[in-house]
A = this chain, B = another copy of it.
Amino acid sequence: MDHNSEKISHILEALPYLIKYSGKTIVIKYGGAAMVQEELRGSFAEDIVLLKYLGINPVVVHGGGPEINQLIQSLNLNTQFIRGHRVTDEPTMEVVEMVLTGKVNKQIVSLIQEKGGRPVGLSGKDGGLAIAEKYLMEFEDDTGHKQTLDLGLVGQVTEVNPQILYTLQAEGFIPIISPVAASKDGKTLNINADTMAGAIASALKAEKLILLTDTPGILIKGQLATGLNKQIIDGYIKSGDISGGMIPKVECCLEALKGGVKRTHIIDGRVAHSVLIEVLTNQGIGSLIE
């Protein structure tokens, strides 16, 4: 089989997925290595543009990356720490917003534009997309009593108004969203990008929520678990097989499923084109929770 025929046969393998996802929405949390390494950034941007031309509607929610810390350091902001967690005070929040919305978001916009897409950058503030409230972390103190920790200007989304997304999608634009939102009393709050993506996926009743991570997916005793659901995950959390930073990610997925998303995926952002591999190939990639 010559190169062209092979190429075409590869494209044709994707046909069942085109039929299945045509006109559907896929929300992708973009972050980690895929956002840092030059080559991965390019391949991610191509994935998003290709999805759009294949008739599938991608919505990207991005995280922050190392650039926030760099700017905080350059500015010598005094960061307060409580119980090991950094407190987001106003000067810090300003930096967070500027970097997320004014730098990272626009880099993604530029890259996708360059690859042939028509991206529009938004933060949660634009078009009233996301309303948030302050998030108070709950924890048990040494005596076993429940306490709450005020980490400053950190929020969780309480309301999503997706009309701006429908408006942009209908005209062929690709929304690129930075995880910042305002509270009802006008405070700017930093939102965890995974949960922002999950909230938006729920509001859109998305076909898929895909979280890009710097792991192959959910590893259970070192093996990639591919097909999971709430019951299995509850077991793994109880047994300690899922632990640490993976817990909020799987919870985010379960929450999105409850909110009406069809399928959720935790995949390896370090693999070039992992989004397309997930969406368009038989084998897929990473862990599926449904």
Interface residues of A (CB under 8 A from B): 3-16, 18-19, 22, 46, 49-50, 53-55, 74-75, 94, 97-103, 105-106, 109-110, 113-116, 118-123, 125-128, 163-164, 167-168, 171, 173, 180, 182, 186, 188, 271-273, 276-277, 280-281, 283, 285
Least CB distance, A23 to chain B, in whole angstroms: 10
In the bound complex, do residue A127 and residue B120 qualify as a contact, i.e. CB atoms below 8 Å apart?
Answer: yes
**Contacting residues, chain B, for A167 (C-beta < 8 A):** 167-168, 171, 173
In the bound complex, do residue A106 and residue B188 qualify as a contact, i.e. CB atoms below 8 Å apart?
Answer: yes
10 nearest A-B pairs in the assembled complex, by CB-CB distance? A102-B102, A98-B102, A10-B10, A7-B10, A18-B53, A98-B98, A101-B102, A8-B273, A167-B171, A120-B126
**Contacting residues, chain B, for A10 (C-beta < 8 A):** 6-8, 10-11
Task: Report how far A187 CA is from B18 CA in the complex, Å.
Answer: 26
In the bound complex, do residue B273 and residue A19 qualify as a contact, i.e. CB atoms below 8 Å apart?
Answer: no
The answer to whether residues A113 and B100 also contact, given A15-B49, A50-B18 and a CB cut-off of 8 A, is no
Chain B residue nearest in CB terms to A168: B167
The answer to whether residues A126 and B119 also contact, given A50-B15, A281-B4 and a CB cut-off of 8 A, is yes
If over half of A's interface residues share one DSSP class (helix, strand or loop), that class is named, otherwise mixed; here it is helix
In the bound complex, do residue B5 and residue A186 qualify as a contact, i.e. CB atoms below 8 Å apart?
Answer: no
**Can you name 21 A-B pairs with beta carbons within 8 Å?**
A4-B277, A11-B50, A12-B46, A15-B50, A15-B115, A18-B50, A18-B53, A19-B116, A53-B54, A94-B103, A98-B98, A98-B103, A99-B102, A106-B125, A106-B188, A109-B125, A110-B125, A110-B188, A119-B126, A120-B122, A120-B164
Cross-interface CB contact of A118 among B8, B127, B171, cutoff 8 Å:
B127
Least CB distance, A267 to chain B, in whole angstroms: 12
The answer to whether residues A4 and B173 also contact, given A127-B118, A182-B110, A182-B113 and a CB cut-off of 8 A, is no
In the bound complex, do residue B4 and residue A285 qualify as a contact, i.e. CB atoms below 8 Å apart?
Answer: yes
Task: Report how far A6 CA is from B99 CA in the complex, Å.
Answer: 35
Least CB distance, A99 to chain B, in whole angstroms: 6
Task: Report how far A171 CA is from B168 CA in the complex, Å.
Answer: 10
Chain B residue nearest in CB terms to A282: B4
Task: Report how far A283 CA is from B168 CA in the complex, Å.
Answer: 35
In the bound complex, do residue B283 and residue A4 qualify as a contact, i.e. CB atoms below 8 Å apart?
Answer: yes
**Contacting residues, chain B, for A171 (C-beta < 8 A):** 163-164, 167
Task: Report how far A155 CA is from B38 CA in the complex, Å.
Answer: 26
**Contacting residues, chain B, for A122 (C-beta < 8 A):** 120-121
Task: Report how far A126 CA is from B4 CA in the complex, Å.
Answer: 32
In the bound complex, do residue B123 and residue A127 qualify as a contact, i.e. CB atoms below 8 Å apart?
Answer: no
Least CB distance, A164 to chain B, in whole angstroms: 6
Residue of A113, A126, A281 most packed against chain B (CB within 10 A): A126
